[in-house]
Amino acid sequence: MSSTVRSQKVTARCAMNKRKFTELRRFIRFLQIALLTRFAGFRKVKNQVNKVTRASLLNGIFIFVFVFTLISGVAYAESPMKENIPGMCYKCHPKVKDELLQQQVHFPFREGKCTACHDSHAGNMKGLVKEEISTLCLICHEKVKKSLDKRFVHNAIRKGVCTDCHYAHSGEYPKLLVKNQKDLCWNCHEALSQRLKNAHVHVPFNEGKCSSCHEPHASAEEYLMLGRTTEVCKTCHAVKCTANGISIARATEKMDCIQCHSGHASPYNGLLGPCGHKAFLEEKCETCHNPMTADVRITTKISGQSLCISCHKLDPAKLKGDDVHIKEAKGGCTLCHNRHASKSSKFTVKASLVCFTCHENTEKRTMFMEKAFKSIRCVPVRERKCFECHIPPHSQNSLYLPSDPIKTCARCHVSQHKVAHPLGPDVKDPRNGQPITCITCHSMHSARSEFMLSFDRKRQLCIQCHKK
């Protein structure tokens, strides 16, 4: 007898015994009521004398009926099915059987183990699957389950289900992908496909081999990289950086490759950029650096922030020269801006790698808020794009906002701004006398209620100001 048939019979036996036992309990209860009613008319003394006898009688009846039920239940469970699984399943699901002809077949499906994933009779899930899809898949795919403990998890997993990317039974592509790798990734990362129009395209990207550099599920590295970028890149490329024909590999071999190079495509030779200082992209290093010599330390013509200001003239309206964010001790301009190239048109570094080194309490409050709400609709907060709303030291406004709080929020929340609570300099907050703005009621990092409100909008929020 195959293990599949044996397991099916055990399952059937358990179900039948459970049902029989429930019926038995009802029958015994009926007997108890009948017997106790019959003996209720006897004298009190006689009841006491016969107490043991009655108890023995009830126990005897219970044991007899229970044993009889078990025997009949076993006999019923052992009754053979009309046909074994999966043959029985294919009688009603012939199209499912045809899926066995595909190039890639899921191993439980190939071995006919339908009941490994599906309930036979009834269930709470669509398709009679035993568990929620992703939970069900992770029962077998333990390696993927363990990887989800890593710092960076693919949004496709965090917000979707396994079958968004994989077929459950069989498919044409490896790993049971619903599309070829490139097209599947572009379902979400559509903007990347436009980069193929650039003059210089990275070979794996051009061939749609995203998994050559990225983990599909989760990674300890940013951008879901297979490892540190310096290590991943070196699996194909030796460090051969040059400047004016002189090797500077000694200075760059330990640098993060994507500080200067794009991993996908660029209009510039060597995949530089795609954004960056014009002098760097055009390989005019001598604009900022002293003449270079092989194996000699690379130096700049002027040190620190003075070098930046030699081109980017200091405008007090656009730059607060005494701001803590621009102090030389913290790195000056390079605290927030990359010296050479960046993915951002303003050459900014990734905000989360810089801001949270000092503003760690803000990050903790944001994380607590995320856990409370499960998801946050505000994109800059959700994706930690701090520079979308804060531009230190280039703002004279509170919180380094690009403009006043109302205009800053209204850049994205256009429709909400049209139907908002009265706002502006003429509407004062009775608690402090300050103008009411969006952040009077909304807290972008410490919200306690829906819509990122500081208080519940049904009553608690309003009575902060409207006491009467």
Cis peptide before 204 (omega within 30 of 0): no
- What is each CA distance from 225 to 195, 196, 205, 388, 448, in whole angstroms? 19, 20, 14, 25, 34
Which pLDDT band, with edges at 50, 70 and 90, does 468 fall under?
confident
104-133 pLDDT, tens per residue? 999 999 999 999 999 988 888 899 999 999
Q: How many Å apart are CA 225 and CA 211, to the nearest integer? A: 9
pTM: 0.67
Q: Quick one: pLDDT at residue 75?
A: 43
Residues forming a β-bridge with 342: 275
Q: Quick one: pLDDT at residue 44?
A: 44
Q: How many Å apart are CA 38 and CA 2, to the nearest integer? A: 53
Report the run of H or E that residue 265 belongs to, with start and end.
strand 265-266
pLDDT, average across residues 225-254: 89
Which pLDDT band, with edges at 50, 70 and 90, does 265 fall under?
very high
Sign, Cα dihedral of 41, 42, 45, 49:
negative
Report the run of H or E that residue 341 belongs to, with start and end.
strand 341-342
Q: Which two tokens stand for residue 211?
A: 């998994």
Among residues 216, 191, 192, 190, the alpha carbon closest in space to that of 202 is found at 192
Q: Quick one: pLDDT at residue 27?
A: 63
pLDDT, average across residues 18-26: 62
209: left (phi over 0), alpha (psi -120 to 50) or beta: beta
338-353 pLDDT, tens per residue? 889 888 888 888 888 8
162-216 pLDDT, tens per residue? 999 999 999 999 999 999 999 999 999 988 889 999 999 999 999 999 999 999 9
Q: 51-77 vs 3-39: helix axis angle to the nearest 10?
A: 150
SS3 letters across 15-27:
HHHHHHHHHHHHH
Residues forming a β-bridge with 118: 129
Q: How many Å apart are CA 264 and CA 198, to the nearest integer? A: 10
Q: Which pairs from 140-144 meet CB under 8 Å and 24+ separation? A: 140/108, 144/217
Give start and end residues of each alpha helix (H) in 268-413: 278-281, 305-309, 351-354, 360-373, 379-382, 405-410
Which pLDDT band, with edges at 50, 70 and 90, does 400 fall under?
very high
Scanning the structure block, which residue is given the tokens 């030699």?
310
141-164 pLDDT, tens per residue? 999 999 999 988 998 888 888 999
Q: For all residues of the chain together, what is the average pLDDT? A: 83
Q: How many Å apart are CA 465 and CA 468, to the nearest integer? A: 9
Q: Which two tokens stand for residue 384?
A: 């930690």
Q: How many Å apart are CA 105 and CA 173, to the nearest integer? A: 10
Could you tell me if 405 and 439 are in contact, meaning their C-beta atoms sit under 8 angstroms apart?
A: yes
| Strand, coil or helix: 170 | strand
Residue 251, judged by CB atoms within 10 A of its CB (0-12, 13-18, 19+), counts as middle
